[in-house]
Structure 1
């Protein structure tokens, strides 16, 4: 079974500005014959943070952030309203799935329709961008209208979130969760290495938001060769992590440093490439052999000492028994 993953590029940012590109995305997944998985799942994301969830098993939209509960102060029936919309989407996308299966002459088996709709808003310039994507069985799906010779979405349901409605709600959500969404948490940066000959990894974890960059420099210039940049990944506590690998330099290590930049924070976190600061779990095989030999000798010594003590104890008991027996014979003879 193929899996479709929607990836959105929020865009580049300048690390010395406090401007933030906010985003609101809805992910809808309709499936058939997928074991232990709801037929329909809807997830709402604000700035890549999950804020709401609905599936065909629970049949109710539930908030995933405490600050999202504040929205009932302005709209008391908000969650009921969202649930009604989710039920409508569930029915609508079920029809889409059936239509796709008929179009491709497919009946049984596992099939998945995924839809992502949303918008982005720059809180400094006010610019708004909207988007929607359709996917069927792991492939992006669009249809060519032969009458107009234009590419269009296969169903009108791909336009379920009006362009004006999306940024309006996005601004409301950002206002409700401003204290959480607009916070900045600096990371812990470490240099890691598996073996003395492997690449050096610069790893930053615990930062927020996820609009961050990491790269290696040599003599103050960003390196593009011999560098492997990783993606920003989420941590279990809502923060993020990122890493960048550097091929071991053949020249002076003092020329190299790792730079971490976080949106909204003016100062970079710069970590010099210093072999003394590298953390590793690597153990030299020679040292390992020495440790094993030392452990074996220690165990042999313990066994020998225990055997000697046991031997002495047994001989002492025998000598004591013989002495007692001789005393008994001697006294009996009298």
Structure 2
């Protein structure tokens, strides 16, 4: 299969490497000027947990393009959430009838988030991976499982193509019936964590404070009314974060889910992205719905520009 990844980010790069290893042809679209900046190789230091946990260290050769052609079997867009509208606009004029997998967080309703793309030509999924890129070196990893929406009427063939691709590379698919609610819940969890990152200064710093995940639970309780007002069904993770006492939750995350040496912990420790966008989106929605969000809003206390953004809406 010939696959084009939209952007050469941490998620795109890791799955592209796995697909190439499985015998597929992978290429990347990057913005004008980035081809020269990125160069023809990227240094990889990533954990592959599909079969057994193994560390991949290599200088991987990549093929980059600054134009998009419709000559692919599949396009995979895994971009920062705030970049999705721009990506969808560009793909609507360049991708032709090539099927597209949107492979990232989404806070808007699915249909409006990809306009002017057609829902019949798009399927939604979410990676089981993380990490960061700095100085053209990727540190991160991916788990065996990815999340993919169950076929909608009209997307059966695309879903099957995506299924065959991931399974050919030995990934396991967790099928999601209500992808809209699932993504809204996941976005809220991300915002709950980013709220603490804003306080601590970085994702790695989040792991060095015992009360960080206890506070994540408190942040989720503040967001639960927003999810309910939107009509989202609470999933297991959201219920876990909102129902378990904060002290117990902190212990559970620090000692079990993000135990020292675990891959989920490493993924966060390698994450060098800028936090705040997810929090800002949820605060804006809460304000529009008339729901107080003091904990989330307070996270921007020292960020005047983002305070103005909240007020502006």
TM-score band (shorter)? under 0.3
Larger Rg: 1
Give the TM-score normalised by structure 1. 0.24
Choose between structure 1 and 2: higher helix proportion. Answer: 2
